Chain A
Amino acid sequence: DAGVTQSPTHLIKTRGQQVTLRCSPKSGHDTVSWYQQALGQGPQFIFQYYEEEERQRGNFPDRFSGHQFPNYSSELNVNALLLGDSALYLCASTLGQGLLQQYFGPGTRLTVT
């Protein structure tokens, strides 16, 4: 039973660039959420996708956008990267909307220089 997978594992970008992170949910799950975890802090909820639409959003600027594909996989896009965007980006999946039964992936470590 495949768990949540994310790619790439690590990424280095320069300020002002754009980045795309990818997530494949656990088998049987149809909902994907994204979190940002800065060093030494807890994860912060970015948004959740269900039925290919953004359903819920945390307190993040419009530079953060996403997409969900018909196979339930998802992308997180961040435009105009700032140094403060350096973090571990975690993807979590669940069946149906909501956050109560999430399975997390190993994350993508983004470094902005």
Chain B
Amino acid sequence: AQKVTQAQTEISVVEKEDVTLDCVYETRDTTYYLFWYKQPPSGELVFLIRRNSFDEQNEISGRYSWNFQKSTSSFNFTITASQVVDSAVYFCALSVGNNDMRFGAGTRLTVKP
């Protein structure tokens, strides 16, 4: 069975602080995809990144970076120099065989000015 765990329910930081959101996944399949989505108060999920199980390279996109480690089944997300506009709920998700997508429970990030 596939499972995604986001142990951090809520995180609060002050603007310009760095923050890391944790994601741990479970699957017995060797081919899978991992995702991060952002859900602002408006409700729609905004795609941030997709990684396949064969690509463990870390990625940086502006203030965002992702650390994928198969050895620990983790796909963590770091926001550098956080801004108030980063406040949202962030979801990690797992897709196996492109047939189903399992989301974690989400981490609510609040960035205070």
Contact = CB atoms under 8 A, between A and B. Distances in A.
Interface of A: 4, 40-45, 56, 58, 88, 90, 92, 97-107, 109
B99 interface: yes
Contact of B95 (A92, A97, A100): A100
Interface stretch (B12-20, B43-51, B70-78): B43-51
B64 interface: no
Contacts of B95: 99-100
B91 A104 contact: no
A103 B8 CA distance: 25
Contacts of B105: 40-42
Interface residues of B, number: 22
Given A41-B105, A43-B91, A100-B50, A105 B44 contact: yes
A43 B42 contact: no
Interface of B: 4, 33, 37, 42-47, 50, 91, 93, 95, 98-106
Contacts of A4: 44
6 contacts: A40-B106, A42-B4, A90-B43, A90-B44, A100-B50, A104-B37
Contacts of B42: 106
A58 B103 CA distance: 13
B44 A106 contact: yes
